[in-house]
Amino acid sequence: LYVPNLIGYFRVICTLASLLLMMAYPDFWLLATLLYISSFVGDLFDGLVARKLNQTSTFGGLLDMVTDRCSTLGLLYVLGGDYAKVDEGIGFPVFRSLFLSLTLLDISSHWCQMYSTSALGKHHKSEEGNEGRSFLVRWFYKYYYFFGYCCVSAEFTYIFAYAIQFTEGNWYHPLLKVLLVLCVP
């Protein structure tokens, strides 16, 4: 029984439930947001538990990475649809173009990193696998705090962009706007 994979399956369920609620039942935006955050927080623990229990596996690593990508891309898809009304008011698909660009950047950068390091027979986070790459890539995988900041701030940028739509008129709406600006990596 691989405990980290159970955490991974929990993450998949939370992600699917959150995205379904976001698209089909927007009145449940708070529950959808909490489920999405639960999946995101689970990402912190699956790897830690895998190493602690000596239960690392190729499948677990793949499950983690695919869940990460599908979660982020699913939320960007939802945001593209939700902000289409704002784009209509502008007369140009500014937000849909932004969310599409972020989706393409996410897929292509992760694919290139995984492919190039696996072609070398190295792990995508290893120093050897990232030797000779741009300093940002080296920092991203070398300095855990920089890695954490980039990942957490990007996800919470998307989360706040989603939640802001539903909080107009509430006392915490301006706070969410400030947090959105502070989170942009």
Name the residues annotated as catalytic: 68
Q: Counting every residue, how long is the chain?
A: 185
Q: Other CB atoms closer than 10 Å to residue 60's CB: what's the count?
A: 20
Residues 6 or more apart whose CB falls under 8 angstroms from that of 53 comprise: 3, 4
* Cα angle value 34/24/75 (rounded, 5°): 50
CA 14/CA 46 separation, integer angstroms: 14
